[in-house]
Amino acid sequence: MEVGNVVWFPSRRHPFVIQTVPCLDLDCPCSNARLTLTEVRLQGPALAEPLSFELNVCLRHWQEHEPTERGPEVDRLALEFMATFPEEQIRGLAAQWNCQRAIQRRLAEYTIDDPASGELVCYSDVIHEAGGVTQTGKGSYFFVHQGRSFLLEDYYCPNPQCDCQRVHVEFWKRGHREPEHRIAVEQFLRAALTLNAPLDEI
């Protein structure tokens, strides 16, 4: 079994993509996550009838919680997955669960002093207590274009009376600061776009 975002089963021709949805109820003491495994073709057209099944898993003890009724083949795949999924990947799922819960808690507690002020709010500042790219060197998104690495920060109007639908995106060049070999960022450009519409400002 090879792992990452996909897993392979010896009995199946195609791999399965794993989608994880953690329990985000802050009043719930569980450490459960719903894992959906869906069969995919990595190259070529999508599978006409992909096999898909769900597991409700306790990440703390790596046990299936309240298994659903399923056929023999799916039951065998589910048991094989639970028995062979590497411990390192289980810890990775648990870390994702903790991160998502922390974000959910931050969203529940975060307040904006003056939503009508017109000041844009950085999404990273909302969901991460440590802040965004200017404080941590980490942005909301990361991508590579023409060999250059960029971090992205997205900003939004917080005024609930405003229906502008605009998103402001900052692009930061990503590099390494010598001699410390730490990540360095430099502001590159800011663009504005309206959701479901073309770019309207750089």
Q: pLDDT (tens digit, 9 = 90+) per residue, 8-27?
A: 999 999 999 999 999 989 89
pLDDT band at 181 (very low <50, low <70, confident <90, very high): very low
Question: Which two tokens mark 67?
Answer: 């298994």
pLDDT band at 174 (very low <50, low <70, confident <90, very high): low
- Tell which residue, 132, 96, 129, 97, has the closest CA to residue 26: 97
With a cut of 60, say whether residue 161 has pLDDT above it: yes
- Is 198 exposed, middle or buried (CB count within 10 Å of its CB: 0-12, 13-18, 19+)? exposed
Question: Which two tokens mark 5?
Answer: 């975002």
Q: What is the mean pLDDT of residues 55-84?
A: 93
Q: Which residues lie closer than 8 Å to 148 by C-beta, 6 or more apart?
A: 173
With a cut of 60, say whether residue 188 has pLDDT above it: yes
pLDDT band at 2 (very low <50, low <70, confident <90, very high): very low
103-142 in b/e form (b: 16+ CB < 10 A) is ebeeeeeeeeeeeeeeeebbbbbbbbeeebbeeeebbbee
* Placement of tokens 């802050």 in the chain: 26
SS3 label, residue 93: helix
Pairwise CA distance, residues 185 & 138, whole Å: 9
Q: What is the mean pLDDT of residues 79-92?
A: 93
Q: What is the mean pLDDT of residues 56-80?
A: 92
Pairwise CA distance, residues 173 & 133, whole Å: 11
Pairwise CA distance, residues 75 & 202, whole Å: 53
With a cut of 70, say whether residue 187 has pLDDT above it: no
What pLDDT is attached to residue 63? Answer: 94
What pLDDT is attached to residue 57? Answer: 96
What pLDDT is attached to residue 3? Answer: 41
pLDDT band at 85 (very low <50, low <70, confident <90, very high): very high
With a cut of 80, say whether residue 56 has pLDDT above it: yes
What pLDDT is attached to residue 109? Answer: 86
